[in-house]
Amino acid sequence: MHENDRSATGYLPPKEFEQVADQFFANPAKSVRGWETAEDAQRRILAEVDACLSQHHEGDVLFVGHGGVGTLLFCALSGHPINRRYDQGPNGGGCWFQFDLDQRCPHEGWQPLERLFS
């Protein structure tokens, strides 16, 4: 599903990355240090989800992506403004959320991946 385009900075050490990610979510219409804007990334992820679901006819669908665009997707489907407070938690194994294919609304917030197997 492609993460937001951060090629302008390349790899950033974790502490610096978190600071820039905070700015990315706090200023969704602005490019932070050359990164794709949060609004542009959100439009792109929604378009990709819509394109995939327009071809879907039965059964479940699994979208796999990175945290940033996952949070942008969660915000859009939940009707929340872009805000990092809706980001996934610090679970090392990853996180997931489920949404209804017809209503396109999440059933609940982010869950740790391990919860799928418990």
Q: How many CA atoms lie within 13 A of 40 on its CB side?
A: 14
Kindly report, residue by residue over 7-66, the tens digit of the pLDDT.
999 999 999 999 999 999 999 999 999 999 999 999 999 999 999 999 988 888 999 888
18 burial class (0-12, 13-18, 19+ CB within 10 angstroms)?
Answer: exposed
Going by the DSSP 8-state scheme, the letter that residue 96 receives in this structure is: E
pLDDT given for residue 118 in this prediction: 72
The sign of the torsion formed by the CA atoms of 6, 9, 13, 15 equals negative
Give Cα 45 distance to the centre of its chain.
Answer: 8
* Domains of the chain, first to last: 14-117 (3.40.50.1240)
Instruction: Give every CB contact of residue 94 below 8 A, 6+ residues apart in sequence.
Output: 88, 112, 113
Give Cα 118 distance to the centre of its chain.
Answer: 24
The span from the CA of 88 to the CA of 96, in Å, is 8
Kindly report, residue by residue over 75-115, the tens digit of the pLDDT.
999 999 999 999 987 766 789 999 998 899 999 999 998 88
Residue 37 · residue 10 · CB < 8 Å: no
Q: Residue 107: left (phi > 0), alpha (psi -120 to 50), or beta? A: alpha
pLDDT given for residue 91 in this prediction: 66
